[in-house]
Amino acid sequence: KNEVEQSPQNLTAQEGEFITINCSYSVGISALHWLQQHPGGGIVSLFMLSSGKKKHGRLIATINIQEKHSSLHITASHPRDSAVYICASSSGAGSYQLTFGKGTKLSVIP
Amino acid sequence: ETGVTQSPTHLIKTRGQQVTLRCSSQSGHNTVSWYQQALGQGPQFIFQYYREEENGRGNFPPRFSGLQFPNYSSELNVNALELDDSALYLCASSWGTGWSRNEQFFGPGTRLTVL
């Protein structure tokens, strides 16, 4: 059974700081997803990656398949980045089932 | 192009009652997945519908059931509500069933409270 662990659970940062959120998983996967959830519930997909690194604006996601570990980095953090960040894994090319981590609550203070 | 919508946004029910939650998928999408998110937890996969058929199911009892309509909108029905069913219910639509190939677009969720 795949388990997805995230750390830290809660993170408070000053505006402008570099932020890292970590995700580890227990079995081989075909893709790792990073999602952002704002207060109120809506979820937005940030990245889907199966190897290497992806970058979108100030967000960078990396994955190390051998170590079963992924990180989400936010450069020059801003209060609007405050949200819950969730990683989730899928296994199998046609897999419909995601295993989610519990999320990391990020608060960026001006 | 409209995004994924869900109704209602909030709902309060009592134990033993039945509830129906609705989801309209994003234009062009043929797959809807439903998730339950308890407070402070990550979402849990309930089931997925593809072209009006259930395509897969998570570890939820049969009192959780669903439907998908020809326009690809979907319903989640929960019978005999229990207190532990209180959660945020999220639906997500995609073109195609596999999470490894198809980005899913989430709705805002329905917050269900069971008293």
d(CA A101, CA A85) in angstroms, rounded, equals 9
- Please give the order of strands across the beta sheet that includes A4-7: A4-7, A19-25, A69-74, A59-64, A52-56
Q: Please, what is the Cα angle at B107 between A22 and B9, to 5 degrees?
A: 115
Interface contacts A/B by beta carbons within 8 Å: 75
* Range with the largest mean pLDDT of A41-50, B36-45, B61-70, B87-96: B61-70
Higher per-residue confidence, B61 vs A28: B61
Asked if residue B108 lies in contact with residue A42, where contact means CB atoms within 8 angstroms, the answer is yes
pLDDT tens digits for B87-101? Answer: 999 999 988 766 656
Cα separation of A23 and A33, whole Å?
10
The C-alpha atoms of residue B31 and residue B104 are separated, in whole angstroms, by 9
Of the candidates A107, A92, A98, A110, the one whose C-alpha atom is nearest the C-alpha of residue A35 is A98
Per-residue confidence (pLDDT) for residue B98, from 0 to 100: 65
Whole-number pLDDT of residue B29: 87
Q: What percent of chain B has pLDDT over 90?
A: 67
Tell me what the mean pLDDT of segment B58-83 comes to: 95
- Give the whole-angstrom CA distance, residue B33 versus residue B56: 9
Q: Which residues of chain A make contact with B66, given a CB cutoff of 8 A?
A: none
Give me the residues of chain A with pLDDT under 50, please: none
Could you tell me which residues come within 8 angstroms of residue B6 by beta carbon, excluding any fewer than 6 positions away? Answer: B21, B22, B23, B24, B89, B90, B91, B107, B108, B109, B110
Over residues B24-44, the mean pLDDT reads 91
Residue type at position A75:
T
- Token pair 């519908």 is at which residue? B49
Nearest CA in chain A to B107: A42
Average pLDDT for B40-52: 91
Pairwise CB contact (< 8 Å): A43 & B41: no
Among B23, B93, B99, B110, most A C-beta atoms within 10 A, so best to mutate, is B99
Which residue in chain A is spatially nearest to B99 when comparing CA positions?
A96
Q: Do A98 and B103 touch (CB under 8 A)?
A: no
Q: How many CB atoms lie within 10 A of CB B112?
A: 21
Question: What pLDDT score does A26 carry?
Answer: 85
CA-based nearest residue to B19, from B80, B91, B62: B80
